[in-house]
Structure 1
């Protein structure tokens, strides 16, 4: 099968969608399919060493420097017909998604899309003069979904949201975005403790993700300030970068935690995967996750999770043996209590670690997810 995947984000930009697209391509190619990516050019200085990736001119988004706005005009458009694509799979409704829709109609190709992101929560990044209302955003999502031949939702929770927006239930199929489980069996080569002077007897709390307001990292820092009052031999490692970094660093100084909180900035994916394995607890308080791949990755690494149970994260941690503890509401004391309980109870920590590894391997491997996506493609092509 010849598969065209269109996305407005891709590596070296680091986020869950970039990771998903890369894993889709790798696994689909393992199964013998030809996969072609259509993505924005990150920069003229960045050279890709990956076959079958078509780049389109792009400009930086003024209010989020890592984000690119693709200009879907390129000589490569004329090459697409020669690829004889069987199906198009878009990852968002924006520039590349619009191009995907245009090409699907022009070339009479079936078009599937995955709803990765709760765009309603990201309107704040747009200036007021062009910021859509909540209803306008929901209508945009609904209209995009209705133009697709099938919508893939990462979780049941997100499917329910789309149905509320007016997308027919039978137009949506739930397929979690899987992760590479075997990669966590590799030996660690990046010594996190050595690089950041973390002593052997110090416990590590970890956050991985973009430093944006919807991730609630300021909340996690406040939680950590209470944790460290009880467990002084604890450090909080924050991996990622974003618009909130300077504000968060100032907050850490104001709380006199600069010796306890470590900002590593963005890191290569290989280092991030190794960081999970070296942490004691992964903490997460985002309320916008369609699934929460970082939560899955942490559990796959055997690191227990304490996280806010909203949106996609709820669908993960709502399972009894998922390998994490779900906090129902954004309450500092509840987070502190559960973090301290996991830190102090070694049997509980061990059980959560074992549960997480088993749970992800059985339910959320990339192999399982991609096989289900391929079945969706076949169903759409035969409809």
Structure 2
């Protein structure tokens, strides 16, 4: 099987989509399949033989993203398509709705192969968080339509209607759409028939660490061995609820002079963040590390006492799975992700308000036995979501698709043959 995976976000940027794409493609290759990632080029991107880099330009103001240039100059489409065709894909898997994702839709149509989408991002929530003008979204839709040579989707008035039109434009020709959790379908309605929707959570493999990792991480940030440590991993941006978390930590720290908060992740709104820290009154107890490699992030999970996740916009939040693999108790604020996510009641649910988050964090810091029990339940849940199981389930979905001209064939001994798949019930192993 030869699959091409289109993503607008890739290394050196680190986020849940990058983790999901790299996990899937690496595991597919480990089982003998050909999986190639198509992504915008970046000079800091490591050289990888299974990545097809596209000419790209910075998207200023869009959280460090880079835009594939074919959208800006239509004449570049022929060259990009020729490189994609040379890879001889049996199917195309689109992971993002940006220009690179659109190129995947375009290539699938031109090469007459099925296209699968994974709906990683709640576009409605992000459009609201960044106050993206509806007019800008509508203009983007017109540009998308022009590049594909199709009539534009008619969008209603307002930002939400424009995002609905983006989803319809990207997803209407999909053979299947993967939802990372049922929280997606509980939160919004996608323009896809129910029989084409599949719930397949991303699985990950824990990062191995030695016993001294906890102490090294704390020492590197001048955090005492017994100091209460609250951890957050993810983009340090407004759509993630970081403002609520900083306000909540100020309340936690009021009764714990040695408490520390560590924020690991890229920072794209520095003025906004600087103002939050200044107003919090506890900036000297908050550690900002920026993006970090997986081994450092894993050490942070081991070093912390509580993982705080204030976001209410995530479709899956792989960081929750990472925390669980490292037996770190989780406090979260999203009731839908709590009800339909990977950890379920193995995480402590609070409301999103700072006082509520602070109460949840404080409760786990004050009761280590309860925190350990919660973390143990989460670790057992996380053990069910492995990288291998994820790839098997995606393969089972691939095999269920209607392929033209019988271009897609798997050897009877292929790993995917052992995965059973029900569109209604999701993957089973």
Structure-2-length-normalised TM-score: 0.82
User: How far apart are the structure 2 equivalents of 1:14 and 1:177?
Assistant: 16
Residue 341 of structure 1 corresponds to which residue in structure 2?
A: 363
What is residue 67 of structure 1 aligned with on the other side? 65
**1:57 corresponding residue in structure 2:** 55
Any gaps of 5 or more consecutive residues in structure 1? none
- Alignment partners' CA distance in 2, 1:338 and 1:40: 40
Q: Give the secondary-structure state (helix, strand or coil) at the position aligned to 2:224.
A: coil
- List aligned pairs for 1:303-382, cutoff 5 A: 303-316=328-341, 319-320=344-345, 322=346, 324-327=347-350, 329-362=351-384, 364-381=385-402
Residue of structure 2 equivalent to 1:101: 105
User: Is the CA contact 1:184–1:300 (under 8 Å) kept in the aligned structure 2?
Assistant: no
Question: Structure 2 unaligned runs (5+)?
Answer: 71-75, 139-158, 405-429
**Measured at CA, do residues 79 and 130 of structure 1 come closer, stay the same or move farther in structure 2, by a change above 3 Å?**
closer
Name the counterpart of 2:116. 112
Q: Name the structure 2 match of 1:130.
A: 136
Closer, same or farther: CA 270–342 of 1 in aligned 2, 3 Å: same
CA distance in 2 between counterparts of 1:339 and 1:258 reads 18
Which residue is 1:144 aligned to?
A: 170
Task: State the match for 2:8 in structure 1.
Answer: 8
Q: Deviations over 1:243-299 (max 9, x none)?
A: 333332333233331321111122223211221111110101111101111111111
CA separation in 2, counterparts of 1:173 and 1:154? 9
**Most deviating of 296-305 and 252-261:** 252-261
Query: Aligned pair count?
Result: 375
**Once the two structures are superposed, what CA deviation does each residue of 1:58-114 show, in whole Å capped at 9, x if it has no partner?**
111121351111123374532332322111101022211221112111111111110
| 2:224 is the alignment partner of 1:199 | yes
Structure 1 residues 371 and 186: CA distance shift in structure 2, 3 A: farther
CA 1:342/1:317 → structure 2, altered by over 3 Å: closer, same or farther?
farther
Please tell me whether the aligned partners of residues 137 and 162 of structure 2 are also in contact (alpha carbons under 8 angstroms).
Answer: no
Matches of 1:228 and 1:112, distance apart in 2? 46
Shift of 1:23: 0.7
Counterpart residue number, 2:280: 255
CA–CA distance in structure 1, aligned partners of residues 62 and 392 of structure 2: 34
Query: Which piece of structure 1 moves more, 107-116 or 56-65?
Result: 56-65
Provide, for residues 156-189 of structure 1, a one-character-per-residue CA deviation record: whole Å limited to 9, x for no partner.
1213445x344221110000111113x2455555
Pair 1:326–1:372, CA change in 2 (3 A): same
Secondary structure of the residue that 1:199 maps to in structure 2? coil
**Can you list the C-alpha shifts for 1:308-353, whole angstroms capped at 9, x where unaligned?**
1244354227733x2x2012x3222222222111111121011112
Q: Describe the SS at the equivalent of 2:184.
A: helix
1:292–1:313 Cα contact (<8 Å) kept: no
CA distance in 2, matches of 1:211, 1:107: 39
For residues 310 and 244 of structure 1, the distance between their equivalents in structure 2, rounded to whole angstroms, comes to 27
Please name the residue that 2:144 is paired with. none
Moved more, 88-97 or 153-162: 153-162
Assess if the C-alpha contact under 8 Å between 1:290 and 1:313 holds in 2: no
